[in-house]
Each structure stands twice: as C-alpha cells, then as structure tokens.
Structure 1
C-alpha cells in the first residue's frame, strides 16, 4: 500500500497535520471504520501502521486479538519504532 495514497484517500491530502480539527477527525473516523471491517491481514496491518503513525492506533493486543501473527508483528513494529525514537 502506498502511504501517500492512503493519506489522500482518508484525509484528502498527504499532509493530515495541515487539516483543521474537524477534517482530521472525519478522516480518522473513516480510517478506524475501515480498519475495523478489513478482513485481509496485510491490508489490516497497513491500516494499523497508518493509525499508529497518526497516534490513534489501538494497542496490538486489542487490534489483533484474533490474529497472533499480526499482534506479534505489530509489537515488533512498535519496538523498532521505539528504538529509533530513542536514538
């Protein structure tokens, strides 16, 4: 999935931080809904990564409670992101 395309799809721009609060909230709500109904594992994980980047992702245990492999991948992603942030 292309990050810029996802941001444009949900927010109408590839810079959601430039949106007013109402427009950003609408995009976030659309993203949460699509995440909740997505059945394809790789697409669901990609949507979660976008949500994480925006600071709105549920914890891996909640997001992927029925998909242990995705939960583990999300935890590894967060661990790597945390390590990069500390450096």
Structure 2
C-alpha cells in the first residue's frame, strides 16, 4: 500500500491540509468500513496504522482479533511515539 495512493483514495488528494472537515470525516469513516471488511492481515494493518496516525483508529481489541496482530500494533504505536519529534 502506497501512502499517497491511500490518501487519494480516501480523501481525493495526498495533501490533507486541503481536505475540508466534512470530507476528512467521510474519508475516515470509509477507511473504518474498509478496515472492518478487509481480510488480508497486511492491508488491514496498513489501514489501521494510517487511521491511528490520523487519530481515528479503533481500539486494538476491536481492530484485531489475533493477539499477535494486537501485539504488532502495540509495537508500532510505541515505535511511532518514539519516532515522533517532541513538540
């Protein structure tokens, strides 16, 4: 999954600063629906990480039934916090 492709798919542009609030909300909802329907573990994880980055991811126990997937998501969350520069 390419990030720019996903942003264009859900928001119509890869520049999120250009997306009006209502379109952002609609794109996030579309992503959550696709996450619920996705069967492929890799694609599901990629959708969840993008939702998490945008502050709209469902809880781990809702998003991932497999404990290994939840652990991977927790690891990603910890790494992403570590990589985020302090404000």
TM-score (norm 2): 0.89
Q: CA deviation at 1:45?
A: 0.3
Q: Deviations over 1:21-46 (max 9, x none)?
A: 11111111111100011111111000
2:73 maps to 74
Verify: 1:5 aligned to 2:10, yes or no.
no
CA distance in 1, matches of 2:51, 2:41: 15
Q: CA deviation at 1:86?
A: 6.0
1:18 maps to 18
**Count of residue pairs brought into register by the alignment:** 86
2:82 maps to 83
SS in 1 for 2:14: coil
Q: CA deviation at 1:68?
A: 1.4
Q: 1:86 to 1:11 in 2, by over 3 A?
A: closer
Aligned-residue Cα RMSD (Å) equals 1.4
TM-score (norm 1): 0.89
